[in-house]
Amino acid sequence: MSNRTHIPEAPERSGNRRKIALSVALILGALGALIGGAFATFTASVQAGPQAITSGTVKLAVGPVNDAATGAANIAAGDTIAREADLNSTGGTIANKEITLKFAASPTSLLDSDPTNGLQVSIQACSEAWKRTVVGSPPPPFTYTCTPGATAVKINGAATASVSALESAAGVLTPLNSLGAGGKDFLVFTLTLPAAAPGDLGKVAACSGSSGGTSATEDLQGCSSTLTYTFQATQRNGIEQ
């Protein structure tokens, strides 16, 4: 028979074991958090609070005026097509970091795909609702006036942008009241076909040629495009609450 002698563990050894046990517990805790409630454990808990936490909402809408669906026919070089499309974040509770505009065209043509000779867009804002006048009979065209005075809304920091560029990548619109929760923007989007857009049907067939061409190589007459405006609002950066 062996006579085993109990040798008490040294205090350091006991502490290390506790640390290892704690690390394992933490890892298990982390894994447990990952796994969620799949592996319930016997716990004892206390509660503090309750602390009501609700997520905010980013809300962007078009209106009250939306003329963006009103097309235009017989556009000629130098012509402008102005359409009011208001933005508002009424009902939203979170301010926005940015609001962007992106175009999509279907069908597409040189009107929208030619960055140089195709349509260019600019945006004007009014602090109140625009006064719209119907010029055509039947409408369009429309003309809009802003009593307090219109201000420019920049697209990626520029006064104008080509529709083609905004088909490739969304442009950030600034400044906009809609960036703030509940803000409203009364906007008029003006599409302009450059006066220098080439078109000589005696030389080039209608709506043919290469982008950025001349009257000897490109003709924008007879082109048809249907544009969809896509606005995207993105919430502000996270803050400490």
Of 35-94, which residues contact another protein (CB under 8 A)? Answer: 55-62, 66, 68-81, 83, 85, 92, 94
CA proximity to 189, closest of 74, 105, 63, 67 = 67
Q: Does 196 bind another protein (CB under 8 A)?
A: yes
The conformation of residue 68, written as its DSSP 8-state character, comes to T
Cβ closest to another protein, residue 74 vs residue 148: 74
Cβ closest to another protein, residue 127 vs residue 208: 208
Count of residues binding another protein (CB under 8 A)? Answer: 84
Q: Does 184 bind another protein (CB under 8 A)?
A: no
Cβ closest to another protein, residue 148 vs residue 180: 180
Q: Does 179 bind another protein (CB under 8 A)?
A: no
SS3 annotation, 116-170: CCCCEEEEEEECCCCEEEECCCCCCCEEEECCCCCEEEEECCECEEEHHHHHHCC
> Which 125-164 residues touch another protein, going by CB under 8 A?
135-137, 140-141
CB proximity list for 166: less than 8 A, separation 6 or greater: 101, 102, 103, 121, 155
Stretch that binds another protein, among 46-54, 123-131, 153-161, 198-206 (CB under 8 A): 198-206
Taking the complex as a whole, how short is the minimal distance between the CB of residue 205 and another protein, in angstroms?
10
Cβ closest to another protein, residue 61 vs residue 152: 61
Cα 138 from chain centroid? 34
Cβ closest to another protein, residue 150 vs residue 189: 189
CB proximity list for 99: less than 8 A, separation 6 or greater: 60, 87, 172, 173, 176, 178, 179, 231, 232, 233, 234
Rounded CA separation 86/84 (Å) = 6
Q: Does 173 bind another protein (CB under 8 A)?
A: no
Q: Does 115 bind another protein (CB under 8 A)?
A: no
Stretch that binds another protein, among 46-54, 121-129, 150-158, 190-198 (CB under 8 A): 190-198
Burial (0-12, 13-18, 19+ Cβ within 10 Å), 11: exposed
Token pair in block for residue 148: 């307090």
Taking the complex as a whole, how short is the minimal distance between the CB of residue 53 and another protein, in angstroms?
12
Q: Does 195 bind another protein (CB under 8 A)?
A: yes
